[in-house]
């Protein structure tokens, strides 16, 4: 952490470090391992830097905000405020003032992408983990044909589906990744101020 008032980057790095102690849903990886694996899968696939950042931050709504603001918890513990929303919405809103619109949109869309793939690929649902199936029910279930055709026209939807597939793969116990500090320069590039401009 830098001297003086912590920046948003400091806050996020602290939240990532704290997420190392939290199990990701019903999976066998921590939330930190999951985020790092997702971002590295994107980088290895040649994704641009904004898409990598979206992958790193896609679940920030699970570990960087008051958990009472989230209703789609996989641990099924704790109470949610009446105003609680999905972790994808809360996370996207948290980072939106700091990042390009596409990054926040991709974070917001990662639960929708799961609903999209369940509607368009019959085998996709069968491959989901129990935790992902549980939260999808909370998030509205498979999309209707009308929702699918509306989303399919969005120019960033293909990236949202790529993020979603990396999200699904980023659950490998014990997989070696770089530490979160390797992503600090990118985080500081976007979140290196106390407040957004
Ligand atoms: Fe995730």
Structure confidence at residue 76 (pLDDT) = 55
Distance from Cα 150 to the centre of ligand 1, integer Å: 24
At residue 171, does pLDDT exceed 90? yes
Question: Mean pLDDT across the stretch 172-191?
Answer: 97
Render pLDDT for 11-38 as a digit per residue (tens, 0 to 9).
Answer: 999 999 999 998 887 778 999 999 999 9
Q: In this structure, are residues 37 and 29 in contact, taking their beta carbons and an 8 Å threshold?
A: yes
At residue 7, does pLDDT exceed 90? yes
Distance from Cα 176 to the centre of ligand 1, integer Å: 17
The residue with greater pLDDT, 71 or 55, is: 55
Partnered with residue 30 across adjacent β-strands are 23
Distance from Cα 4 to the centre of ligand 1, integer Å: 32
Render pLDDT for 119-167 as a digit per residue (tens, 0 to 9).
Answer: 999 899 988 888 888 888 888 899 999 999 999 999 999 999 999 999 9
Distance from Cα 82 to the centre of ligand 1, integer Å: 24
Render pLDDT for 89-110 as a digit per residue (tens, 0 to 9).
Answer: 999 999 999 999 999 999 999 9
Distance from Cα 49 to the centre of ligand 1, integer Å: 18
Distance from Cα 123 to the centre of ligand 1, integer Å: 19
Q: In this structure, are residues 22 and 31 in contact, taking their beta carbons and an 8 Å threshold?
A: yes
Distance from Cα 34 to the centre of ligand 1, integer Å: 7
Confidence of residue 118 (pLDDT cuts 50, 70, 90): very high
End-to-end Cα separation, the chain, in angstroms: 21
Distance from Cα 95 to the centre of ligand 1, integer Å: 16
Confidence of residue 78 (pLDDT cuts 50, 70, 90): low
Mean pLDDT score of the chain: 92
Distance from Cα 135 to the centre of ligand 1, integer Å: 11
- Measured over the CA atoms of residue 176, residue 44, residue 130 and residue 63, the dihedral's sign is positive
Distance from Cα 85 to the centre of ligand 1, integer Å: 16
Rg (CA), the chain: 16
């Amino acid at each position: 952490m830098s001297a003086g008032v912590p920046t948003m980057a400091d806050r996020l790095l602290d939240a990532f470090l704290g997420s190392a102690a939290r199990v990701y849903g019903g999976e066998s990886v921590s939330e930190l391992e999951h985020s790092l694996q997702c971002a590295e899968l994107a980088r290895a696939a040649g994704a641009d830097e904004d898409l990598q950042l979206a992958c790193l931050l896609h679940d920030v709504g699970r570990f960087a905000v008051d958990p009472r603001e989230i209703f789609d918890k996989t641990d099924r513990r704790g109470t949610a405020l009446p105003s609680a929303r999905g972790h994808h919405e809360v996370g996207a809103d948290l980072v939106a003032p700091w990042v390009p619109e596409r990054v926040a949109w991709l974070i917001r869309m990662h639960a929708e992408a799961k609903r999209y793939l369940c509607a368009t690929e019959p085998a996709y649902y069968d491959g989901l983990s129990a935790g992902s199936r549980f939260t999808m029910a909370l998030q509205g279930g498979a999309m209707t044909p009308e929702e699918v055709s509306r989303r399919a026209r969005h120019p960033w939807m293909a990236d949202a589906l790529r993020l979603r597939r990396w999200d699904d793969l980023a659950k490998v116990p014990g997989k070696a990744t770089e530490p979160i500090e390797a992503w600090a320069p990118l985080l500081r590039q976007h979140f290196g101020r106390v407040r957004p401009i």
